């Protein structure tokens, strides 16, 4: 009879917690220097040519701090989303606060979901919000909805304000607006919708520049929250 421990198969290593693996990947991803390095570790609906012309194809600014935000689990699709707060150096002695998402699908290795990062850190949304255009757009951003509208826009008394943020508890990039009778307003009134007044939430938002109500006072109009998450 063999001694205990002799010629016995090694026990399998315990699985790595998905949060540990996700954070490890994010830290490595932020240190990578090129798109070629990052491609195997990211999720995106964008083409490689678009990604190659983005901030992902080069070194990123120094990361001053990374902290865990929230974890969301979709048990039906076997998806776990890990959100992180990342403080980048802004090159002027200050901080550029951002939110980043790492997703784990089933038992597959985690991947960084980069489209929201490009909308926010990469400036895609900020460029859209800077100048009125006839084109509508869908953006993955952080929102906080529910304030009364005090800005000089058409029918302001019938509008609700949506702050567009890169991260909770930061100054908004800009504000969008939606009507009191809109679908978004109905979501806010529904306790089961997943959206609440004043709650910062990572969402996918379809919006446009409203140029019709008063061409002299165009405003950014939130038309629909297509997803209460960042899902490429």
Q: What is the mean pLDDT of the chain?
A: 92
Question: Among candidates 118, 30, 40, 32, which has minimal Cα distance to 66?
Answer: 30
Confidence of residue 43 (pLDDT cuts 50, 70, 90): very high
Rounded-to-integer distance, Cα 187 and Cα 184, Å: 5
H or E element that contains 28 = helix 18-31
* 104-135: pLDDT as tens digits: 999 999 999 999 999 999 999 999 999 999 99
Q: How far is CA 207 from the centre of its chain?
A: 16
| pLDDT at residue number 2 | 46
Rounded-to-integer distance, Cα 82 and Cα 68, Å: 8
Across 34-50, average pLDDT: 97
Is the whole model's pTM more than 0.85, yes or no? yes
Q: What single string gives the DSSP state of each residue in 119-171?
A: HHTT-HHHHHHHS--S--EEEEEEEEEEEEP-SSSTTGGGEEEEEEESSTTS-
| pLDDT at residue number 10 | 55
| pLDDT at residue number 86 | 98
Q: Which residues contact 175 (CB under 8 A, 6 or more apart)?
A: 151, 161, 162, 163, 164, 220
| pLDDT at residue number 7 | 52
Say if residue 185's pLDDT is above 80: yes
């Amino acid at each position: 009879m063999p001694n205990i421990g002799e010629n016995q198969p090694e026990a399998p290593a315990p699985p790595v917690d998905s949060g540990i693996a996700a954070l490890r990947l994010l830290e490595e991803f932020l240190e990578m220097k090129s798109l070629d390095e990052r491609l195997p570790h990211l999720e995106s609906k964008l083409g490689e040519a678009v990604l190659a012309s983005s901030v992902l194809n080069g070194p990123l600014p120094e990361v001053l701090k990374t902290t865990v935000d929230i974890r969301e689990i979709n048990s039906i699709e076997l998806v776990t989303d890990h959100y992180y707060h990342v403080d980048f150096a802004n090159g002027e002695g200050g901080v550029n606060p951002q939110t980043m998402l790492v997703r784990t699908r089933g038992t597959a290795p985690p991947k960084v979901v980069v489209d929201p990062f490009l909308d926010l850190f990469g400036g895609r949304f900020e460029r859209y919000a800077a100048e009125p255009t006839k084109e509508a757009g869908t953006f993955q951003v952080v929102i906080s909805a529910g304030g009364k509208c005090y800005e000089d826009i058409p029918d302001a008394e019938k509008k609700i304000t949506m702050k567009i943020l890169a991260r909770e508890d930061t100054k908004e990039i800009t504000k969008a607006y939606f009507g009191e009778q809109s679908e978004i307003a109905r979501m806010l009134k529904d306790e089961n919708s997943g959206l609440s007044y004043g709650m910062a939430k990572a969402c996918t938002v379809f919006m446009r520049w409203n140029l019709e109500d008063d061409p002299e006072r165009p405003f950014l109009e939130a038309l629909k929250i297509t997803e209460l998450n960042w899902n490429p």
